[in-house]
A and B are shown apart, each in its own frame.
Chain A
């Protein structure tokens, strides 16, 4: 089916982009592997949709599609949370730079 082809192509593109970013040192090896696992799972489910039904039965969820939706929501929550934490770290880094800059003159005066 056309949708399967499009999904597989999309996931292959995501895989290619992930490893490109790894080679560019944008993400770590662990992150690249974790993302690759996700995209590989997407490819597997796109080619063999029945897989989701086995997994759904294993987790006690009614339909395979429901399992994918639940998992997608959980993953998105996790990623948004990670973004918040990353944002907070950047804010703190910016504050530290601002503080160091602001105190430079005073520190210079003290050392003279």
Chain B
């Protein structure tokens, strides 16, 4: 089966090459969506491997929007399985075979990576851990997402092409993760959570414009406004 990774990237020129090299050991190709970077992310990505397709957003539209563009591009290049992962190296490419297996075996339509299924995340700040736990309860109580989902904001997921076509998410920002979970758990698609190793470094935690504590509030607000925007 043709497995294509989708990596949204914003000013990731210093990290993207390594992520691509490691991921391509397990993937047939990768679509990198340069989300309006002001550095040379797209040039760096394009040089890594001929299997890398680079798509450029002329302006920054945020992670969810870039993922949507990348998913459409992956379908255009003939993906049968699509894998979403981050550009900053937080996701461990060695998890990819385990993540892809239930899809390739036909046991699930979508596999979601989780930080809370036994594999201890490296360097996760305590505040982040508690915010994610609060986020899980927000998802359960406000969005009606199944209690079985342990990670409310995982960006690591794999899905069949058919599932990708059916999960029609609209959130441009980080709220896309919760929106995807809501759509998946209500769609009748077969889903499974897989333990994943996430690695936080000082570099990724202090990245400009991302990973702020206030993100939790903007995610909740975006989901609320999103309900009224069709």
A87 (CB) vs chain B CBs: closest residue: B225
- Check B51 for interface membership: any CB of A closer than 8 A: no
CB-contacts of B115-171 with A (<8 A) = 170
> Which of B33, B72, B170 is the one whose CB lies under 8 Å from A92?
B170
Binary B-proximity of A80-112 (CB < 8 A = 1, otherwise 0): 000011001101101100110111001100100
Give the interface SS of chain A, mostly helix, strand, loop or mixed: helix
How far, in angstroms, from A76 to B152 measured CA to CA in the complex? 34
Are A92 and B229 interface neighbours, CB within 8 A?
yes
Are B76 and A102 interface neighbours, CB within 8 A?
no
Chain A residues with CB below 8 A from B225, complex form = 84-85, 88
How far, in angstroms, from A110 to B33 measured CA to CA in the complex? 18
Are A98 and B65 interface neighbours, CB within 8 A?
yes
Are A103 and B226 interface neighbours, CB within 8 A?
no
Chain A residues with CB below 8 A from B228, complex form = 85, 88
How far, in angstroms, from A91 to B65 measured CA to CA in the complex? 10
CB-contacts of A17-72 with B (<8 A) = none
B34 (CB) vs chain A CBs: closest residue: A102
| Interchain nearest-CB distance for A19 vs B (Å) | 28
> Which of A99, A107, A110 is the one whose CB lies under 8 Å from B65?
A99
The listed residue with most B CB atoms (<10 A of its CB), out of A91, A92, A102, A103, is: A102
Number of A-B contacts (CB under 8 A): 51
Q: How many residues on the B side are at the interface (Cβ–Cβ under 8 A)?
A: 22
How far, in angstroms, from A88 to B226 measured CA to CA in the complex? 8
How far, in angstroms, from A40 to B57 measured CA to CA in the complex? 48
| Interchain nearest-CB distance for B169 vs A (Å) | 11
- Check B56 for interface membership: any CB of A closer than 8 A: yes
How far, in angstroms, from A91 to B175 measured CA to CA in the complex? 14
Chain A residues with CB below 8 A from B72, complex form = 99, 103
CB-contacts of B28-79 with A (<8 A) = 33, 53, 55-59, 61, 65, 68-69, 72-73, 76-77
Q: How many residues on the A side are at the interface (Cβ–Cβ under 8 A)?
A: 16
Whether A85 touches B76, Cβ cut-off 8 Å, given contacts A95-B172, A106-B53, is no
Whether A95 touches B61, Cβ cut-off 8 Å, given contacts A85-B228, A89-B229, A103-B55, is yes
Chain B residues with CB below 8 A from A88, complex form = 222, 225-226, 228-229
Are B58 and A91 interface neighbours, CB within 8 A?
no
Chain A residues with CB below 8 A from B33, complex form = 102
| Interchain nearest-CB distance for B220 vs A (Å) | 14
A85 (CB) vs chain B CBs: closest residue: B228
B227 (CB) vs chain A CBs: closest residue: A85
How far, in angstroms, from A107 to B53 measured CA to CA in the complex? 13
Are B55 and A106 interface neighbours, CB within 8 A?
yes
A81 (CB) vs chain B CBs: closest residue: B228
How far, in angstroms, from A5 to B207 measured CA to CA in the complex? 58
Binding site for B on A (CB under 8 A): 84-85, 88-89, 91-92, 94-95, 98-99, 101-103, 106-107, 110
New A-B pairs, 10, CB < 8 Å, besides A95-B172, A98-B59, A99-B65: A85-B228, A88-B228, A92-B229, A99-B61, A102-B56, A102-B58, A102-B69, A103-B76, A106-B76, A110-B76
